[in-house]
Structure 1
Amino acid sequence: MSIKQKLMMIMSVFVLGILLLNLILNYYTVGNSLQRDSQSKMLLAARQIEGSVERNRSISEKIRRQADYNLLMAARMAALQLNKDYRTITREDLEQASRMTDIVHISIIVREEGGFRIVESSDPRQKAEAELLTDTVARAAEDLLSGSQAHASGQSEAGADTFWSSPTTDSAKHYAYFEKWGMYSDHQRNYIIKVSFRDSAAQQLEAGPSLEDTLQQILKTDPRYLEITGIAPAAFSSSAQVDAAVRKAGSPGSSDTILFGTYTLNQWNEDSAAVEKAIRTGDSVMLDSRVQEKRVLKSFMPFYPEGRDPYVIRIVLDYQNISSLIQELLFSSIIISVVLLAVVICGIYVLAGYFTRPIQSILEKVNEMASGELDTRLDVKGKDELAQLGSRINVMANNLSLYTRWLKQMYEENRAVKDHLESVINQTADAICVTDTEDVVVRVNKAFEDLYGWDKQSVIGKRLNVIPEELKGEYEEQRQRLLEGESISSTESIHLRRDGSRVEVSISISPIYDEEDGINGFISVIRDMTGRNRMEELLRRSEKLTTVGQLAAGVAHEIRNPLTTLRGFLQLQQQTGLLNPKHIELMLSELNRINLIVGEFLILAKPQAVQFQKTDIRFILRDVISLLDSQAHLYGVEFETQITDQPVPVFCEENQLKQVFINLLKNAIEAMPGGGHIFIELCLSGENVKIVIKDEGTGMSPDVLAKLGEPFFTKKASGTGLGLMVSQRIIQSHNGLLDIESKEGEGTTVTILLPWAAHAENPGTAGAPEGELQSGV
């Protein structure tokens, strides 16, 4: 694709984006304006409905008072005409009294055991009932006779405590619910007079236009209004009450939930939340919703009449008209945008041709330079950006000519240096191997071929398996350290040759970095250590023989004393011919001493191979403390421990560590003949487990402290001096450290450091025979 085409495409896309953005902004701006206009009209309609509601409430209150007064007067006139005993009253008496009032029906209610019952009525549709009354009439009769105020909301103001009238409910179609009735009792007769309006009398109380007429007029004036509803917020919060109100729609005054209008477009979940928000905030709430597959706008406007509960007027507006206006505007905008886009594309095509002609000329010359014709130069005219670009291309061509000649010279020099380095690498006695980060061999020298038995062609590009199986875990750890940028120097290990034989090597590995300081490989320098290790082994054996000779001399000296004692007792028994039990006990004691010396000497000279296991050292230490606790009490010594709650696993041989702890704690106990405390602490210290044993004994002088660990050196009368040496050897076999600090008169502190199993490697088998190679680096 040419620059001209790209330029046209970019400009066209840019113009198209602007036009689309303009269409979107117009769409939302017009939509919002039409919604605000519709909301204003719905608010105006709601204000009109509010005025009608308040006017109807005023008329309704006036009619209610007039009705209460008419019912009271009718009841009093009937009382004057009727006997005080209900048993003497007939239907004809009630009809005559009813005709005198000309507006009411009259019924006689008497109290019986358990309730009230109608015994006679002037209404031909109502007959005497055998069953007791259980509805509002019965409760009202009870309140009237007892003087209770339980139904005070229905009590007439004109009748004081002798008259009770039913409550009045407002309606959208009527001013009052005129199945209205009242009850009268002067407390001098044995019955209650109930009076209720006749149908014709009730119609005489109605006058003027109703709220329903106002609602119908608004719906007819603007056909976009689909539904108007008056909502009582408290009752509207219950779905069951709303459903009941919808079922009673059209019955005057039958619902305390839907105050007026209809609620056929029922969306209670959404509407109840909007009603609650409108009442809480005091502002109208607008919802854009869908009802019965039709998009509508719903407005909820709260009103707070003085002295009465607030209510909400819900107006549902059909969105179809708004959508039609928006679509017409959008269609017109699209047509205009298409025309503008076509004009802009034509203009862009003309301008793109004008600007790209110099660029095409520059491109032709650059292609010639790319093909190797660096002597090509551009004919630069003018001072604009394209002319400056041409000038810089000419400068670049000059520099490329210079750099090309310089690179050829450097190439020849680098090739000479490379040949020299290859000669040095191939002639060195150490094996050299270069690998990438995936251990794939990149390069080896002649010494590598001689050491491992592979030739260069068979190893380059492959991964060599020179690590024994038991050392692969250690190698992976080293490799991870190398990837982190660490170098490994002079590490001894065992590698495998091509034929499977093992060779002892010393290896140094360093990472190779690229220009961005990233690791892209490793170089290994490997030296055959077989000859040197054999010489070192001979030296170790010579040194060992010297040490064993010294130990043997010490053992002979230590054993000679008990042997002299045994010889003396045996000669005495030979001369006397008698066996003395005390002599036998002393001889056995001397034999045990000889056995102890020989046993500790054997442990020191050649410890048996044991298997290390991962064990929580807390349990080992606690077992030893429990074992020596009784002996400590005999000396008046108490153990004070401070052992961590965290698991402390170490790789160890449990019995050997127990032997160390027993030796150290017994030494601490015997160092305090007068009693005292031994402080024992077990905690983590970095990557090590730290055990501290501190006594309050007599301590040791620096001269004595310097000789500790030497064979047969001891301060105890019955000691051999080998216990501490054996303990030190056991700790060393666990890759640990044993340190002793002491001051005369202040006590002795022994500190043991052992590798924590979370960071340490299993030492393997302790006490391997001398001369056997140990795997590892």
Structure 2
Amino acid sequence: MSVKTKLSFMMSFIVFILLLVNVILNEYYTRVNLRAETQFNMTYISEMIASSMAQHIREYELLQTVFDEKLKVASAEAAMLLGKDVNAVTGTQLEQLSDRLGLTHLSVIIPSDGEYRIRSSSDPKLGGLTIKSLGKPNQVPQEGLSDLKKSNDFWTSAIEFNTSDTTPGDSGKWGFYQMEDRGYILVSFIQNNQPRGLGEINLVSDLSQSMTNKLTVLEVSGFNPVLFGKGPVGEIPKMISVPEMMQHPVSFGSYEYQEIKMDEKNILAASQGDNVFRYTKIKGQDVIKSFVQVTSPVPYVIGLVLDAKPINRQIDEQRNNQLFISAILLIIVVFCSYWLSDFLIRPIRSILWKINEVSFGRFDNSIEVKRKDEIGQLAKRVNAMSKNLGIYMTKLKMAFEENRSMKEYLESFINHTTDAIHVVDLKGRVTQVNRAFEELLGYSADDAVGNILPLVPEHLHAEELHTMEGLKSGKHLTARETVRITKEGEWISVSVTSSPIRDKNGAIHAIASITRDMTSRNKMEELLRRSEKLTTVGQLAAGVAHEIRNPLTTLRGFLQLQLETNKLNTKHVDIMLSELDRINLIVGEFLILAKPQATRFEEKDVRFILGDVISLLDSQAHLCDIEFLTHFNIETGLISCEENQLKQVFINLLKNAIEAMPEGGQIQISLDYKGSGEVSISIVDQGIGIPEDMISKLGDPFFTGKDSGTGLGIMVSQRIIQSHQGTMEIRSKVNVGTSVTITLPLLQGRSDPPPRPLR
């Protein structure tokens, strides 16, 4: 699909979406507005019905009052004109009185066999009949008789209304009058000529005339919210009074569009003051039902049923009009967008041609620019880009050749260096190795790459993990001496330098390690230590000989004394045994120092090691008029060490102190707890001191300030202290003295496992 077609399609699609949204919103607002207008009209109609009902009720109450007054006056006047004897009252008298007083008929009733019978009447048809025989329309007059008292009293019934199936004289208003001195009850009746009752008001026909063009009212109903839903609806009352009408679930109107359960909920909600409108389908017809509360004369709810077809028809017409207009607009937009796309794409074709030329590496041809708009500026930029690309391509070729040469040089350097180099990712998998790595550790490139190699001994895993975490956090690490395991399981002493490899964003994504075999260097250092030890042994020989000569002289004297006396003195024997033990101790310490020992770290108390060295050199110190002053200020000095190596360090330092004091003096030896789980050993002499410019060179091989020195003692001592994870500091002032402070970690304060010897 071409860009022109895509652009035309996109524009048309956007317009289509907008038109569709417009149709949907228009239909939505039309529906909302029509429903709101319909609900307003239904509320208005309900108010009109309520007003009509109130007017009709007022007319009914007024008619009741007029009939009551007329019956009361007529009954009182008729009672004054009739005699006390019921037998003297004739039908003719009653007929004359009823015509005179404007009554429909006038009758006299007397009690007979538990009911009331008409004794005489102005209407001959009623003579001799009981109240019950008058039928259903006159049940209310009969029931009212029970409310009459023996004294003078008057009572009227509610107005009854005529219907097509009633007979003359059975609809109207009754009046009952009883005097205390009469043995009969005077009954008066006025005919009601009203054509219909309250329940027969045709509210639909009365109200729909003004709404014919807008709404179609299908049904009007009056509901008693208290009674509706509590029992069967029954027949809607017609010829009854207002109070009786309100005692029915459906008080007036019709109720053919029934949904009793839903209507009950809506009527209950309307009775609480909320107008309810419901859109539903009844008898296959879409209708709108409304329920509006009326509080006068008694609380009731007016229900309306409207035909929803006019509203739906109006909504459909509005939607169809919108769809037709949108379709016309969409067709116009499609043609216009296609033409506009062709107009816009035309100059881009030349730019596309130039880009194709650039893609094939042809940068010389340029676009002819005739326009000054954004597309013309774009064409100029493409020409400039083509020219710059030609220049950059030349430079890139040169840079590529330089990078290729540098890459070959680096690969040659990495592969031909004697140090083993390997790279691991952050999960520990090997990603690259050089030839020296394969030769040193025995893993081929195929075996190593992509795998996690077991190079680190188990006891050093925690230390290695700590180192890797330091690298990942950005900490710079110096070379460290440690142990690695080859593929065959052999342990080798190495020096490892690790450094992070970062990406272009500066994030660490790999770690490179350079491993150097330290086996030859360690052997050389061991030879230097042994050479220094032999030198020290030679120099100690004189002191040891002098130390042994003293107990030997004592032994010889005691033995000669016993030979002369031929007696065995037990006290002399104890002294001789003590001297022999002393000789054995001196010889044992001397042999330990002189004899090569296997390097093995053990738990030792530094106080005892230093005490043994002091005992060994004590005789030589006496010969030089030197006194050892010791201050051990710690309760325990347990460290992980190689005892013979530490003794060699202490002997070297004490010998240097003795040789620096040709005039004699005191050497202070102290042990103190330094804090952080470390012990400090301090040796301070009162010798000739060391010049300041020589202190920085101490420890260099074969550098010495003594005529007969080798320059290896301090170097070997420093290496030994370093292998014990300690430090050694030398301070000196000429003609004042020298102080040497050694710091070693206590066993109780260590969190890492004790160091392993390098093999």
- Report the 3-state secondary structure (helix = DSSP H, G, I; strand = E; otherwise coil) of the residue aligned with 1:435: strand
Q: 1:90 aligns with which of 112, 123, 147?
A: 112
> What residue in structure 2 maps to residue 379 of structure 1?
368
Q: Distance in 1 between matches of 2:42 and 2:116?
A: 54
Q: 2:341 aligns with which of 343, 349, 352?
A: 352
Q: Is contact 1:279–1:302 with CA below 8 Å preserved after alignment?
A: yes
- Deviation track 1:45-94 (CA, whole Å, cap 9, x = no partner) reads 323312221112112323554676789899997998899xxxx9424982
Q: Is contact 1:362–1:390 with CA below 8 Å preserved after alignment?
A: yes
- Report the 3-state secondary structure (helix = DSSP H, G, I; strand = E; otherwise coil) of the residue aligned with 2:362: coil
Q: 1:329 to 1:400 in 2, by over 3 A?
A: same
> What residue in structure 2 maps to residue 244 of structure 1?
231
State whether structure 2 residue 53 is matched by structure 1 residue 61.
no
Q: Is contact 1:230–1:314 with CA below 8 Å preserved after alignment?
A: yes
Q: Distance in 2 between matches of 1:186 and 1:495?
A: 136
Q: Tell me by how many angstroms 1:225 deviates.
A: 2.2
Q: Is contact 1:444–1:456 with CA below 8 Å preserved after alignment?
A: yes
State whether structure 2 residue 10 is matched by structure 1 residue 19.
no
Q: 1:516 aligns with which of 493, 505, 528?
A: 505
Q: 1:771 to 1:381 in 2, by over 3 A?
A: closer
> How do residues 63-462 of structure 1 correspond to structure 2 at under 5 angstroms?
63-65=63-65, 89-91=111-113, 94-96=116-118, 99=121, 122-124=131-133, 204=192, 206-207=194-195, 210=198, 212-218=200-206, 221=209, 222=212, 224-232=216-224, 235=226, 241-242=228-229, 244=231, 246-247=233-234, 249=236, 253=245, 255=247, 257-266=249-258, 286-291=277-282, 294-305=285-296, 308-426=297-415, 430-462=419-451
Q: Tell me by how many angstroms 1:139 deviates.
A: 14
- Deviation track 1:751-770 (CA, whole Å, cap 9, x = no partner) reads xxx99xxxxx9x89xxx9x8
Greater alpha carbon shift after TM alignment, 52-61 vs 254-263: 254-263
Q: Is contact 2:279–2:286 with CA below 8 Å preserved after alignment?
A: yes
Q: 1:74 to 1:20 in 2, by over 3 A?
A: same
> What residue in structure 2 maps to residue 616 of structure 1?
none
- Report the 3-state secondary structure (helix = DSSP H, G, I; strand = E; otherwise coil) of the residue aligned with 2:132: coil
> What residue in structure 2 maps to residue 544 of structure 1?
604
Q: Is contact 1:226–1:316 with CA below 8 Å preserved after alignment?
A: yes
Q: Distance in 1 between matches of 2:435 and 2:199?
A: 112
Q: Distance in 2 between matches of 1:388 and 1:363?
A: 15
Q: Distance in 2 between matches of 1:301 and 1:407?
A: 87
- Deviation track 1:736-755 (CA, whole Å, cap 9, x = no partner) reads xxxxxxxxxxxxxxxxxx99
Q: Is contact 1:378–1:390 with CA below 8 Å preserved after alignment?
A: yes
> What residue in structure 1 maps to residue 6 of structure 2?
6
Q: Tell me by how many angstroms 1:430 deviates.
A: 4.9
- Report the 3-state secondary structure (helix = DSSP H, G, I; strand = E; otherwise coil) of the residue aligned with 1:373: coil
Q: Is contact 2:498–2:512 with CA below 8 Å preserved after alignment?
A: yes
Q: Distance in 2 between matches of 1:74 and 1:53?
A: 31
Q: Distance in 1 between matches of 2:185 and 2:471?
A: 107
> What residue in structure 2 maps to residue 727 of structure 1?
none
Q: Is contact 1:495–1:504 with CA below 8 Å preserved after alignment?
A: yes
Q: Tell me by how many angstroms 1:516 deviates.
A: 3.0
Q: Tell me by how many angstroms 1:417 deviates.
A: 3.1
Q: Distance in 1 between matches of 2:486 and 2:316?
A: 85
Q: Tell me by how many angstroms 1:340 deviates.
A: 2.9
> How do residues 556-567 of structure 1 correspond to structure 2 at under 5 angstroms?
none
Q: Is contact 1:106–1:196 with CA below 8 Å preserved after alignment?
A: no
Q: Tell me by how many angstroms 1:350 deviates.
A: 2.6
Q: Is contact 2:236–2:251 with CA below 8 Å preserved after alignment?
A: no
Q: Is contact 1:105–1:122 with CA below 8 Å preserved after alignment?
A: no
Q: Tell me by how many angstroms 1:390 deviates.
A: 0.9
Q: Distance in 2 between matches of 1:73 and 1:166?
A: 15
Structure 1 counterpart of 2:308, one-letter code: Y
- Report the 3-state secondary structure (helix = DSSP H, G, I; strand = E; otherwise coil) of the residue aligned with 2:289: strand
> What residue in structure 2 maps to residue 46 of structure 1?
46
Q: Distance in 1 between matches of 2:447 and 2:74?
A: 128
Q: Distance in 2 between matches of 1:50 and 1:309?
A: 11
> What residue in structure 2 maps to residue 34 of structure 1?
34
Q: 1:247 to 1:67 in 2, by over 3 A?
A: same
Q: Is contact 1:245–1:258 with CA below 8 Å preserved after alignment?
A: no
- Report the 3-state secondary structure (helix = DSSP H, G, I; strand = E; otherwise coil) of the residue aligned with 2:38: helix
Structure 2 counterpart of 1:388, one-letter code: Q
> How do residues 696-715 of structure 1 correspond to structure 2 at under 5 angstroms?
none
- Deviation track 1:562-616 (CA, whole Å, cap 9, x = no partner) reads xxxxxxxxxxxxxxxxxxxxxxxxxxxxxxxxxxxxxxx999799xxxxxxxxxx
- Deviation track 1:376-398 (CA, whole Å, cap 9, x = no partner) reads 21111131222211110010011
Aligned length: 522
Q: Tell me by how many angstroms 1:322 deviates.
A: 1.7
Q: Is contact 1:467–1:494 with CA below 8 Å preserved after alignment?
A: yes
- Report the 3-state secondary structure (helix = DSSP H, G, I; strand = E; otherwise coil) of the residue aligned with 2:288: strand
Structure 2 counterpart of 1:13, one-letter code: F
Q: Distance in 1 between matches of 2:510 and 2:503?
A: 9
Q: Is contact 2:599–2:757 with CA below 8 Å preserved after alignment?
A: no
Structure 1 counterpart of 2:112, one-letter code: T
Q: Distance in 2 between matches of 1:195 and 1:528?
A: 143
Q: Is contact 1:231–1:312 with CA below 8 Å preserved after alignment?
A: yes
- Report the 3-state secondary structure (helix = DSSP H, G, I; strand = E; otherwise coil) of the residue aligned with 2:229: helix
Q: Distance in 2 between matches of 1:375 and 1:443?
A: 45
Greater alpha carbon shift after TM alignment, 212-221 vs 349-358: 212-221
Which has the larger Rg?
A: 2
Q: Is contact 1:362–1:378 with CA below 8 Å preserved after alignment?
A: yes
Q: Distance in 1 between matches of 2:513 and 2:185?
A: 118
- Report the 3-state secondary structure (helix = DSSP H, G, I; strand = E; otherwise coil) of the residue aligned with 1:17: helix
Structure 1 counterpart of 2:434, one-letter code: N
- Deviation track 1:213-236 (CA, whole Å, cap 9, x = no partner) reads 332415875583233233455x28
Structure 1 counterpart of 2:132, one-letter code: D
Q: Distance in 2 between matches of 1:509 and 1:496?
A: 17
> How do residues 582-601 of structure 1 correspond to structure 2 at under 5 angstroms?
none
- Report the 3-state secondary structure (helix = DSSP H, G, I; strand = E; otherwise coil) of the residue aligned with 1:246: coil
Structure 2 counterpart of 1:60, one-letter code: Y
Q: Is contact 2:208–2:216 with CA below 8 Å preserved after alignment?
A: no
Root mean square deviation, CA, Å: 6.1
Q: Tell me by how many angstroms 1:303 deviates.
A: 4.2
Q: Is contact 2:429–2:452 with CA below 8 Å preserved after alignment?
A: yes
Task: List gaps (5 residues or longer) in structure 1.
Answer: 108-120, 128-136, 146-158, 555-600, 607-702, 712-753, 756-760
* Structure 2 length-normalised TM: 0.53
Q: 1:539 to 1:350 in 2, by over 3 A?
A: same
- Report the 3-state secondary structure (helix = DSSP H, G, I; strand = E; otherwise coil) of the residue aligned with 1:18: helix
Q: Distance in 1 between matches of 2:467 and 2:126?
A: 111
Q: Tell me by how many angstroms 1:359 deviates.
A: 1.1
Q: 1:208 to 1:521 in 2, by over 3 A?
A: same
Q: Tell me by how many angstroms 1:244 deviates.
A: 2.3
